[in-house]
Amino acid sequence: MILGVLFYYKYLNLIITTYNDILHRDFFLWEIIAPLGISFIIFQCISYLMDLYQGKAQTSRNFLDFALYISFFPKLSQGPIVKYKDMETQLKYRTITFDKFLRGLERFIMGLSKKVLIADILGQTSSSIFYSMGMGMDAGTAWIALISYSFSLYMDFSGYSDMAIGMAAMMGFEFKENFNFPYLSTSITEFWRRWHMSLGAWFREYLYFPLGGSRKGNVYLNLFVVFLATGIWHGAAWVYLFWGAMHGVCVVVERYIMKKSWYEKIPVFLRWAATFFIVNIGWITFNVTKFDEFTEFLGYLFGMGTPISFTGLFYLTPRLVTLWAVVILGTLIFSRKKVQVQLIKWNEESQVFNGIKYVFLLGCLFLCFVTSVSEGYQPFLYFQF
């Protein structure tokens, strides 16, 4: 029944449209307004029922507690997807301290800064190029659009997760991390351990393991089904199903070749480059509505559009290059364990560091307000899912 609700709100019109296209019929499309965050709400309801069935959680006897779990606004529209068993105790017993509130506020400001100061500006460049796709473009322009979108999506979605985790902390809740520097991955399998981690954990526990995981049945088929479901979850369009299938094929192939002795001999840089390339090719589907548009843009990336030109330099502004550098250098620096440990130590022991940190955060907050006023509001990219 719960999946039926999701089907009605998200996939009914896709089925009707496909039926009309194949059989040349003209059935009317329903004007359906889906509730905010319907995909996340349904998945959390399923996790609650599955946890009860498996004996991992107790039935909620308090309607307000259960309603809060489902509709807690920081995670409502874009996650993280929080399992009931992870939030059950916190609904009844949690403490709100000044330190927690301050830590949550810091996280919120950093997430807001990633969204407003980086993601939105990068998104303007990628959107303007993708919108002009029908007029043709050279390979350089196409790659600028794709890399900008890739960084924009990462900063946008991880920024929202930071804001959600921060707001939850301000109210005494602790949520698990949702991102762990995914663009450093050296395989698609590793990428999904680092990207939208709560979604990956949900599918692993509530679909992959029930299918048999790696112990029962065909592990390759189980993996492929999981990624097909991941694609379908992302959107009511066949391009998302293709995106999920593409990742599923990659994970299946990786699982097979990782057993080979020669796999570890492949240089790490080449494995990283191949992973980053595949992930970016997949992001094309998030910017098109039809498969022929996907193949069209893919052709642009390999020089099958307009002749070689320097039109891409128009988009390669100093601001764009600076933001690319911020994302790349920030990832390389802050992903290092030594840096993370040192920052924690300074945060706990150094008043000078904390003073500099608060000045920096206040500066970022001020710039967010200024940028929002001058550039206008840009919705979060993952709102569409």
pLDDT digits 0-9 by tens, 268-320: 999 999 999 999 999 999 999 888 999 999 999 988 766 666 676 788 889 99
Contact (Cβ atoms closer than 8 angstroms) between residue 201 and residue 85: no
Is 370 a residue whose pLDDT tops 90?
yes
Is 336 a residue whose pLDDT tops 90?
yes
When pLDDT is cut at 50, 70 and 90, the band that residue 41 belongs to is confident
pLDDT digits (tens, 9 = 90+) for 214-235: 776 688 999 999 999 999 988 8
Please give the positions annotated as active site. 234
Token readout for 109 is 């400001």
Coil, helix or strand at residue 154: helix
CA neighbours closer than 13 Å in the CB half-sphere of residue 297: 26
* Backbone φ/ψ region at 360: left (φ over 0), alpha (ψ -120 to 50), beta: alpha
Instruction: For residues 206 and 141, give the distance between their C-alpha atoms in angstroms, rounded to a whole number.
Output: 41
**Other Cβ atoms within 10 Å of 76 Cβ, number:** 16
Torsion, Cα of 309, 315, 319, 325 (10° steps): -60
Residue 36 is given by DSSP the state T
**Other Cβ atoms within 10 Å of 39 Cβ, number:** 21
Hey, where are the domains in the chain? 2-92, 98-187+258-380
Name, in order, each residue with C-beta under 8 angstroms of 203's C-beta and a sequence gap of 6 or more. 226, 229, 230
Name, in order, each residue with C-beta under 8 angstroms of 290's C-beta and a sequence gap of 6 or more. 239
Among 67-71, 176-180, 271-275, 328-332, the minimum mean pLDDT is found in 67-71
Instruction: For residues 385 and 36, give the distance between their C-alpha atoms in angstroms, rounded to a whole number.
Output: 10
Angle, CA 29 vertex, CA 27 and CA 30 arms, to 5°: 130
Q: What are phi and psi of 54, to 5 degrees?
A: -90, 0
Q: What's the Rg (C-alpha) of the chain? A: 22
User: Smallest Cα–Cα separation from 53: which of 76, 79, 85?
Assistant: 85
DSSP string, 329-352: HHHHHHTSHHHHHHHHHHHHH-HH
